[in-house]
Chains A and B, each alone.
Chain A
Amino acid sequence: MNKHATSNLKAEKITGGVATDQRHDSAHKHVSGTAVYIDDMPEPAGTLHGCLGLSAAAHATITSMDLSAVRAASGVVDVLTAKDVPGENDISPTGRHDEPVLADGKVEFFGQPIFCVIAETREQARRATRLAKVEYKELPFVTDIGELDPRKDKLVTPPLTLRRGDAAAAIKAAPRRLKGKMRVGGQEHFYLEGHIAMAIPGEDQDVTIYSSTQHPSEVQHMVSHALGVPSNAITVEIRRMGGGFGGKETQGNQFAALAAIAAKRHHRAVKIRPDRDDDMIATGKRHDFLVDYEVGFDDEGNILGVDFMFAARCGFSSDLSGPVTDRALFHCDNTYFWPAVHAQSAPLYTNTVSNTAFRGFGGPQGMVGAERVIDEVAFAVGKDPLEIRKKNFYGTSDRNITPYHQTVEDNIIQRIVAELEESASYARRRREISAFNANSRFIKRGLALTPVKFGISFTATHYNQAGALVHVYNDGSVHLNHGGTEMGQGLYVKVAQVVAEEFQVDLDQVKITATTTGKVPNTSATAASSGTDLNGMAAQNGARQIKDRLTDFAAEKYQVPRDQVLFLPNRVRIGNQEIAFADLVKQAYMARIQLSAAGFYKTPKIHWNRDKGQGRPFYYFAYGASCSEVSVDTLTGEYVVERTDILHETGRSLNRAIDLGQVEGGFIQGMGWLTTEELWWDDKGRLRTHAPSTYKIPLASDRPKIFNVTLADWPEASEPTIHRSKAVGEPPFPLGMSVLHALSDAVASVADHKICPRLDAPATPERVLMAIERLKGEANA
Chain B
Amino acid sequence: MAKVTVRNEIRFILNGSDVVLTSVAPDATLLDWLRLDRSLRGTKEGCAEGDCGACTVLVGKLSAGGLVYESVNACIRFLGSLVGTHVVTVEHLRGEPGKLHPVQQAIVDFHGSQCGFCTPGFVMSLYGLWMKSPDPSNAAIEKALQGNLCRCTGYEAIMRAAHAISSYGKAAKDPLAVERKAITARLEAMHDGARVEIGSGKKRLIVPANVDDFAALLDKEPGATVVAGSTDVGLWVTKHMRDISPVIFIGNLDGLRTISEDKGVISIGAGVTYSEAFSTLAKRIPALGPLFDRIGGEQVRNMGTIGGNIANGSPIGDTPPPLIALGARLTLRKGKKRRTIPLETFFIAYGKQDRQPGEFVESVHVPVPAKDTKFAVHKITKRRDEDITAALGAFFLTLARDGTVADLRIAYGGMAATPKRASFVEQALLGKPWTEATVETAMAEYARDFSPLTDMRASAEYRALAAKNLLLRFFVETTGTRAPFQVSRNEAA
Residues of A within 8 A of B (CB): 23-24, 26-37, 39-40, 42, 123, 126-127, 130, 189-194, 240-245, 275-277, 440-443, 487-490, 629, 631-633, 635-640, 642-643, 657-658, 660-661, 664-669, 676, 678, 680, 682, 688-689, 691-694, 696-703, 705-707, 709, 764-766, 769-770, 773
Contact = CB atoms under 8 A, between A and B. Distances in A.
Given A33-B91, A668-B155, A705 B489 contact: yes
B314 to A, nearest CB: 13
A239 B252 CA distance: 42
Contact of A35 (B116, B142, B469, B473): B116
23 contacts: A30-B107, A31-B103, A31-B113, A39-B35, A190-B149, A192-B117, A194-B46, A242-B117, A441-B483, A637-B462, A640-B487, A665-B114, A676-B383, A682-B456, A692-B47, A692-B149, A693-B49, A694-B388, A694-B457, A702-B385, A703-B155, A705-B489, A766-B462
B152 A665 contact: yes
A638 B46 CA distance: 28
Contacts of A241: 115
A197 to B, nearest CB: 16
A706 B156 CA distance: 10
Interface in B87-128: 89-91, 93, 100, 103-105, 107-109, 111, 113-120, 123
Nearest to A690: B456
Interface string B200-241: 000000000000000000000000000000000000001101
B445 to A, nearest CB: 17
B70 interface: no
Interface in B115-168: 115-120, 123, 141-143, 145-146, 148-159
Interface in B59-84: none
B157 A664 contact: yes
Contacts of A693: 47, 49, 51, 388
B336 to A, nearest CB: 39
Contact of A629 (B113, B158, B493): B493
Given A693-B49, A702-B384, A640 B489 contact: yes
Contacts of A123: 32
B47 A678 contact: no
B154 A664 contact: yes
A47 to B, nearest CB: 11
Contacts, number: 276
B45 to A, nearest CB: 8
A440 B482 CA distance: 10
A692 B76 CA distance: 14
B435 to A, nearest CB: 16
A487 B115 contact: yes
Contacts of B109: 23
Nearest to A43: B36
Contacts of B148: 700
Contacts of B385: 699, 701-702
Given A32-B42, A765-B380, A636 B466 contact: yes
A192 B149 contact: yes
**8 residue pairs, one from A and one from B, having the closest CB atoms:** A33-B42, A488-B115, A242-B117, A30-B116, A668-B154, A488-B114, A692-B51, A696-B383
A702 B253 CA distance: 37
A276 B238 CA distance: 10
B52 A701 contact: no
A642 B345 CA distance: 43
Interface of B: 32, 35, 39, 41-49, 51-52, 54, 89-91, 93, 100, 103-105, 107-109, 111, 113-120, 123, 141-143, 145-146, 148-159, 238-239, 241, 378, 380-388, 390, 455-459, 461-462, 465-466, 469-470, 472-473, 476, 483-489, 492-493
A760 to B, nearest CB: 14
B47 A665 contact: no
A694 B492 CA distance: 30
B456 A694 contact: yes
B119 A632 contact: no
B51 A664 contact: no
Contact of B151 (A243, A676, A700): A243
A129 to B, nearest CB: 9
A120 B113 CA distance: 34
Given A27-B113, A243-B151, A709-B156, A635 B473 contact: yes
A193 B115 contact: yes
B487 A27 contact: no
A698 B146 CA distance: 10
A56 to B, nearest CB: 15
A280 B75 CA distance: 18
A244 to B, nearest CB: 8
Contacts of A699: 142, 145-146, 149, 155, 383-386
Nearest to A440: B483
Given A31-B119, A700-B142, 13 more contacts: A24-B111, A32-B104, A33-B90, A192-B115, A275-B239, A636-B466, A658-B111, A664-B157, A665-B114, A669-B154, A691-B47, A700-B150, A701-B146
Contact of A33 (B43, B152, B158, B384): B43
Contacts of B113: 24, 26-27, 30-31, 488
A488 B459 contact: no
Contact of A661 (B111, B238, B469): B111
B110 to A, nearest CB: 9
A277 B484 contact: no
A39 B41 CA distance: 8
Contact of A489 (B93, B114, B158, B456): B114
Contacts of A190: 149, 151
Contacts of B111: 23-24, 27, 657-658, 660-661
A332 B142 CA distance: 37
Contacts of A639: 487
Contacts of A667: 154
A632 B384 CA distance: 13
Contacts of A766: 382, 390, 458-459, 462, 466
A487 B120 CA distance: 16
Nearest to A657: B111
Contact of A28 (B100, B150, B381, B458): B100
Contacts of A192: 44, 46, 52, 54, 115, 117-118, 149-151
Interface centre among B47, B49, B114, B118 (most CB of A within 10 A): B114
B376 to A, nearest CB: 13
Contact of A770 (B54, B146, B461): B461
A765 B486 CA distance: 13
Contact of B108 (A28, A36, A773): A28
A520 B487 CA distance: 53
B487 A700 contact: no
Nearest to B51: A692
Given A26-B116, A440-B484, A633-B487, A700 B155 contact: yes
B93 A32 contact: yes
A689 B456 contact: yes
A38 to B, nearest CB: 11
Contact of B384 (A42, A629, A701): A701
B489 A34 contact: no
Contact of B493 (A440, A488, A700, A705): A705
B159 A635 contact: no
A697 B149 contact: yes
B42 A34 contact: yes
B237 to A, nearest CB: 10
B383 A275 contact: no
B77 to A, nearest CB: 17
A638 B380 contact: yes
Interface centre among B43, B104, B141 (most CB of A within 10 A): B104
B156 to A, nearest CB: 5
A579 B117 CA distance: 43
Contacts of B388: 693-694
Contact of A24 (B52, B114, B457, B462): B114
